Amino acid sequence: SATDSAIVESMKILKNYRENGITPEELDYTKKSMVSSDALNYETPFDKAAFLNKVIEYNLDKNFAMKQAEIVNSMTKEQIDALAKLYLHPDNMIIMIAGDEYVIKEKLEKLGYGKVQVLDSDGKGTYKINKNHE
């Protein structure tokens, strides 16, 4: 299945970010994407109302969107790299997958990321976090 290969690739990317940091091109692309995607938040009257509701609900400054864009644009490679080292811990992550356990469980177990725990549709199961991945 594509699930196991997608997990392997995702973990490689996370480990690479933690070890080597973000590239200048990735940082530039991310900044542009984040700032331009915010513009889509105000396209329809419903979007504008939702934005205003967020401003009111969280008591945000009226220039909140502009300040947020300034913060995103001012982030440096060094800051992003430090955040990656602080928050990305691929060897101590919980990976959650939704899918048919009969199709993907065995392949997921072979990846070696730890015990595969099956939960029901209500999220109930006998899940235990084991830092030794056993």
| Average pLDDT value for residue range 15-40 | 90
pLDDT at 79: 97
Q: Is 116 helix (H, G, I), strand (E, B) or coil?
A: coil
Region 2-94: CATH code? 3.30.830.10
Q: Has residue 129 got a pLDDT over 80?
A: no
- Provide mean pLDDT across the span 79-85: 96
| Contacting residues for 23 by C-beta, under 8 A, at least 6 apart | none
Taking residues 44-70, report their average pLDDT. 88
Q: Look over the chain and give the mean of its residue pLDDT values, rounded to a whole number.
A: 86
Q: Where are the domains of the chain?
A: 2-94
Rounded to an integer, the average pLDDT of 73-78 is 96
Distances (CA, A) of 121 to 15, 51, 98, 118, 128: 31, 32, 10, 10, 18
For the segment 103-125, what is each residue's pLDDT rounded down to a tens digit? 888 898 999 888 888 888 787 87
**Burial class of residue 108, CB neighbours in 10 A (0-12, 13-18, 19+):** buried
